[in-house]
């Protein structure tokens, strides 16, 4: 059921992320077809960072030795200028997979921001790719939910996921992903009953 709030339709969380199979198809496509938009999409799904945070990345935020990216600012959607992160916890270091750094090593950009691209342009890229590889069309922000959902589904701790996403506190993570937690609780309940 969709909710309407101030004339804006709010989709249920289940419609805001990709299932694992579609997420893997998206990652594979972006890795094979490196463009500015595709690398930005890949960065979003592999990091779980917000679009403004990914858009603000510059070379000095990338630690090729420790394979991390530093989220220490965001780009304001309206002005296009750098601003502080959403909250104190949003300033964080995120570990990234080795394959991301293989792409980064050969990635050409203007020497300023890695991804100087608007939210309209990136969401247009998302729609194009979804149609091309036959996956559910979602927005860039859904990559963040996809990232978190995949971690939680694979038993990564809620505390770590919350820190990785830069949530202000653990209760926000629990609230946003309560539908997944309920599924996990049922699995744990079954496992507990199987013991006896």
Question: Quick one: average pLDDT of 80-86?
Answer: 93
Residue ranges of domains in the chain = 12-195
The conformation of residue 13, written as its DSSP 8-state character, comes to G
**How much is the pLDDT for 46?**
97
Question: Quick one: average pLDDT of 127-140?
Answer: 96
Mean pLDDT rounded to a whole number for the chain? 88
pLDDT greater than 70 at residue 121: yes
CATH class of 12-195: mainly alpha
Per residue in 29-78, pLDDT (tens digit) is 999 999 999 999 999 999 999 999 999 999 999 999 999 999 999 999 88
**How much is the pLDDT for 42?**
98
Which backbone phi and psi does 62 adopt, to 5 degrees? -100, 120
Where does the pLDDT of residue 184 fall: very low under 50, low under 70, confident under 90, or very high at 90 and above? low
Distance CA 2, CA 10 (A): 6
Distance CA 196, CA 192 (A): 7
**How much is the pLDDT for 178?**
72
pLDDT greater than 90 at residue 131: yes
Question: Quick one: average pLDDT of 150-178?
Answer: 87
Q: Which helix (H) or strand (E) holds 5?
A: strand 3-5
Other residues' Cβ atoms within 10 Å of the Cβ of residue 34: 14
- Which tokens in the block code for residue 144? 């963040």
């Amino acid at each position: 059921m969709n909710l309407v709030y101030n004339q804006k339709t709010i989709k249920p969380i289940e419609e805001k992320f990709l299932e694992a199979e579609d997420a893997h198809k998206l990652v594979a496509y972006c890795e094979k077809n490196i463009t500015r938009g595709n690398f930005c999409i890949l960065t979003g799904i592999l990091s779980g960072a917000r679009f403004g945070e990914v858009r603000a990345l510059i070379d000095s935020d990338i630690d090729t030795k420790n394979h991390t990216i530093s989220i220490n600012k965001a780009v304001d959607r309206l002005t296009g200028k750098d601003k502080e992160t959403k909250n104190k916890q949003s300033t964080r270091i995120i570990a990234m997979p080795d394959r991301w750094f293989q792409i980064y090593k050969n990635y050409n950009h203007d020497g300023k921001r890695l991804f100087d691209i608007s939210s309209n342009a990136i969401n247009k890229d998302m729609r194009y790719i979804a149609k091309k590889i036959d996956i559910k069309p979602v927005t860039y922000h859904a990559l963040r939910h996809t990232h978190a959902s995949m971690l939680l589904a694979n038993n990564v701790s809620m505390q770590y996921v919350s820190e990785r996403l830069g949530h202000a506190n653990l209760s926000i993570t629990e609230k946003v992903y309560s539908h997944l937690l309920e599924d996990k609780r049922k699995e744990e309940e079954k496992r507990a009953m199987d013991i006896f």
